Chains A and B, each alone.
Chain A
């Protein structure tokens, strides 16, 4: 695919057929010989051509009108980005290497050269890291503790630079950019992970951070969070919840499907917790916490991102099964904050994990030795994270309020109190005080 239309780009509108089929001359170094026949002559009109006249190609439609027509008439959806479809529809699709622009080809040469240089750099860095690592973590001859620490730090920073080089090698490649924009990026490769991270941070993460700060998830449930995994929640298979949106109680009766997208390489185990910090407590005249879902040892990776909460193993993963959100009548809305906590094998509390499988938490140990931390009611995420040394990596939020389905959801879930209504407590007004010297006029 290529945009071989420097002249075509000058047209204000590309949606009309007559512009698409205008005979135009590209900036070729040699003129096209007029005797060259058409590569594919138009097929002769047949009986069915009238019916086929309004067939839309899902690879080529690129205006909102034709996209709508495609969906309405053919029940098909456009493929890839609109930019890609427009480019496909308006270009001659000559590969880059055969494009007849001298300057363009020179620029490509520069880019290829640059990439080769970066790849050399990556290889060199790998060798140097391997050399340093060969020394191991033990002390070398004539080496003190300070030198060893220094070497470890050096390895860490070299690894970081290696990742940077890997990204820099591909960041200028137009084909990489195209593949990413078409949604065909391979998340096992660092460049696509980098690009999707960038995309997430430019808009979606900002919205997420705004929601969790404005709705006070951050001081109420957790002191602070710097999310590095993007998350999304889907109820009833298809209902995707924007961050902080209200979810109807009938939709949230069944556990959701999560998408947790990490942007750094490798498999990892995470703990997933859904916490409600707005549970009413009439005796204390305050709000309590409640855990609506808690599961450990959930394996995710940049390519394996979907977590179906109903499909997790109750023996080895689920600590607290799904409790449908239920907000009794009259109460203010309740926030349900989802947290993704990383079980880092290096920092995880070793007393709750077996040495044979580092990073995995033992559920029976957790339940028996720390029942007050893993309980459903009065679940405090701060102490839970402290006890097992978990790191917050992702956050999401949805809200619930009383609606017409709440009572039946509570009944089906076996929860009492569906017929309880909350009303404001009367605050006694201040007595009317007359000033001392004041008199009736």
Chain B
């Protein structure tokens, strides 16, 4: 089931990117420029992205390709990358959270979006900002869910059923996280160049 949903999710995002992505978006070049900047926050961000990529590949490849759970060398990579990602994402969250607080203007943008009201041209920037903030919170929420679900399963708190639920929660949270990150990086509504001003 999880495999099917994952495949559908990844296919959906690939198709969406193919049709909707902004031509000028180049995640690699953005990361490279951040790395070159030498700022601590930028390095932290790059480290988070790198560990995230490792976690995604090691976690989803066996599921998508073979329908198996993570094991062997991939499990090692997953286990090594996990604490790095957890620390980085926590630090990024602490550093960026103030700039991603939803304000009144965001609320009105959200209402306008949910009511499907056409936005005037001058308000496209507000919509994009809302998208950026929502993506941040989606990443935060799914990261917290993915991290806590797996770490709680390591303690003798839950029985087989609870363990299974936690494992599923970990998987679906991770899937949501991947989709949020990928969508945010490539799709026009949520994506903007990583705005240094907000950091």
Does B associate with A?
no
Residues of B within 8 A of A (CB): none
Binding site for B on A (CB under 8 A): none
